[in-house]
Amino acid sequence: MTQDDEGGSVISMMTNPTLPAYDPQCLHDYLRAAGLKSLRPLWAKLEILFGLAAATLGLVLLRDHAAPDPLSAAVIVLGLYLAGAGHRSHLYQSQNRQTAYLVQLLRSKSNEP
């Protein structure tokens, strides 16, 4: 079965008018119950931006022979690692929102008569 057969993705469910609207308070409750800290979207975007900038700097250093090759390679690797960490943070944020919404849906279904 495809996603369309199953009713779509969680994101499309969050905007479905027949389902309850997404409550951001549910995310805070979920994070508190799980013992997790709220992640900052701006910080994740900055990690990606600085990581890609560092990787670009490493490539420029390597191309122009402005620094020793091992140093340029290290700057590239560390920059790409930082960009990957920012992307992973975005994935965690999305996963947390989707989990909180599913918990909200399950609670609303269990409260129905």
Encode pLDDT of 26-44 as tens digits: 888 888 988 888 888 999 9
Q: Within the chain, where are the H helices?
A: 3-6, 10-14, 24-34, 41-64, 69-110
Mean pLDDT of 15-33: 83
- Chain segment 62-77, per-residue pLDDT in tens: 999 999 999 999 999 9
Q: Position of tokens 């979207």?
A: 41
User: Could you give the C-alpha distances from 110 to 8, 54, 71, 106, in angstroms and in order?
Assistant: 22, 50, 58, 6
Burial pattern 65-80, b for ≥16 Cβ within 10 A else e, equals: eebeeeebeebbeebe
pLDDT band at 1 (very low <50, low <70, confident <90, very high): very low
**pLDDT-derived band at 2, boundaries 50, 70, 90:** very low
Residue type, 14: M
d(CA 111, CA 57): 56
